[in-house]
Amino acid sequence: DAKTTQPPSMDCAEGRAANLPCNHSTISGNEYVYWYRQIHSQGPQYIIHGLKNNETNEMASLIITEDRKSSTLILPHATLRDTAVYYCIVRRGRGGGADGLTFGKGTHLIIQP
Amino acid sequence: DAGVIQSPRHEVTEMGQEVTLRCKPISGHNSLFWYRQTMMRGLELLIYFNNNVPIDDSGMPEDRFSAKMPNASFSTLKIQPSEPRDSAVYFCASSSRDLNEQFFGPGTRLTVL
C-alpha cells in the first residue's frame, strides 16, 4: 500500500470547516483513499473513502485531486466532539473485510471553542 | 447491535504470565482483525481472519503471540509468556467484504509489570 503523509497536528475553531490534507504521491490506480478517526481512548471509526471522485456523506467530504496524489478531508462545521486523531489510509482492497488497515501517525485535530 | 465486544477491558499482569484477550465480532461479519496500539509504534495490524481462517499473521511480533478463531462469533489473542514490552491497547475489529468499513471494539488495555 502507498505511503501517506499528514501534518502532525492542526487547530480549528468550533463551527468552522476543518480541512485535513493528506499526501499520497505514490498511490496506484487501483488504490483507494480511506479516512478513519480515533477519539481519545476509543477504537478507530470509519469516516469516508474514495477512488477518484469526490465523495460526501453525513460526516464529511473527501476531495481527491485529479492526479490522485493528494486528498483533503473536510468536516464542514467542526464541533468539540470532532477533536480526534485523523488517519488517511491508502489501500488496495475495497470493502472493510478485504484486508487489514495500515495506520500512519495521523493528524491530531483540536477544535477550539 | 452491541458492536464488537472485547474482554477484559483492562488487564494487569506480571511478566511471565499468560494473557488471553477475547473478542466477539458483530454478528454476520466474516472478517476479524486484531490490532495493537502503543505510543512508540502507533496502530499496527497483528493478524486477520476471513471465515475463521487466518489470512495474514505477518504482524504477529513473535512466537509468544497466538490467535485463534474457533467459530464465527469468537476469537482469542494469547500472549505466553507476557513481557513488559507487550503493554499496549489491543483492538479487535470486524467487517465483511460488502461493507465499506471495519468496526472497532473498545479495546483491551494490557499492562505487564
Instruction: Kindly write down the DSSP assignment for every residue of B65-101, as one continuous string.
Output: EEEEEEETTEEEEEESS--GGG-EEEEEEEE-TTSS-
pLDDT (tens place) for every residue of chain A, 113 residues total: 669 999 999 999 999 999 999 999 999 988 999 999 999 989 999 999 999 989 999 999 999 999 999 999 999 999 999 999 999 999 887 776 778 899 999 999 999 99
Q: Quick check: A95 and B98 CB within 8 A? A: yes
CA distance B16 to chain A (A): 27
All 3 cell numbers of residue B93? 475489529
What was the pLDDT predicted at A1?
63
Are A22 and A72 spatial neighbours (Cβ–Cβ below 8 Å)? Answer: yes
pLDDT at residue B29 is higher than 70: yes
Closest Cβ–Cβ partner in B45, B55, B103 for A102: B45
